A and B are shown apart, each in its own frame.
Chain A
């Protein structure tokens, strides 16, 4: 594409953006983004939805999952809450990130994020006798003291500390993916993560 799509700083979009080409977001997008080119979220950009692209670089704010086939870069000034999945990921000093991060070897197929939350594979450590469900229902099963899988959990540059009232099994990366502590069960919040796009920033 000779020409990139630019969502300027004075523009708000509520809805889906998809297609061929590159995308620069300096404005506000509330709705899923799926393009096969490069996605740049500028310093003034705000995306409250998931983003899929070949390369994603973020200098602004994203509340939603990022999935790229090539690479994801969180630049200085980026604020991202959500899962990240790409073969190559970089997080610059000064970027704020909270979420589950998955990288893969080059060429390895990176599965699509949707519905593949790795925490669901964790078995309850405290109750080994109880058989873990083969497929954990999304919203209601909250295994006591879940063991974190090997997924890397990153909290770069000191995000705000979790409130003292947070339950012991609370997991910052997962249960706070929607950016608020509303007292619901972690698993419920996990199930609600797909709805972050509806929240205002």
Chain B
């Protein structure tokens, strides 16, 4: 079973996981997963994120380092640097930061 942080729940600290993370609530601190991380619309993540892939529909403040791909959905709001092999940014996503795609 994967890990779900539901809306209304706040985690302050460090999350380390070997499995999928789905975040609908609030996370402050540090977030590390060996699998996919999804930040849903309405979620607030103030953390540095490491993941194999990252999908963002909510708010992310922090740097992210992703092995495969990062998808910023419409409605996403990201402040921070993104390092990933591939990045997609949907129209309507807000983004402020550096992008590093290992060109």
On chain B, the residues within 8 Å of A112 by CB distance are none
A17 is an interface residue with CB less than 8 A from chain B: yes
B18 is an interface residue with CB less than 8 A from chain A: yes
Q: A5-B25, A19-B25, A26-B1 are in contact. Are A10 and B17 (CB under 8 A)?
A: yes
CA distance A17 to B8 in the complex (A): 11
Residue from A4, A6, A16, A20 within 8 A of B11 (CB atoms) = A16
A35 is an interface residue with CB less than 8 A from chain B: yes
On chain A, the residues within 8 Å of B2 by CB distance are 6, 8
Residue of A nearest to B5 (CB): A5
CA distance A19 to B23 in the complex (A): 14
A64 is an interface residue with CB less than 8 A from chain B: no
CA distance A19 to B5 in the complex (A): 11
Instruction: Please provide the chain B residues from 47 to 79 with a CB less than 8 Å away from any CB of chain A in the complex.
Output: none
| B contacts, CB < 8 Å to A | 1-21, 24-26, 29
16 A-B pairs with C-beta separation under 8 A: A1-B6, A1-B8, A3-B4, A3-B6, A5-B6, A6-B4, A8-B2, A10-B17, A10-B18, A11-B16, A11-B17, A11-B18, A12-B14, A13-B16, A18-B9, A26-B1
| A contacts, CB < 8 Å to B | 1, 3-23, 26-27, 31, 35
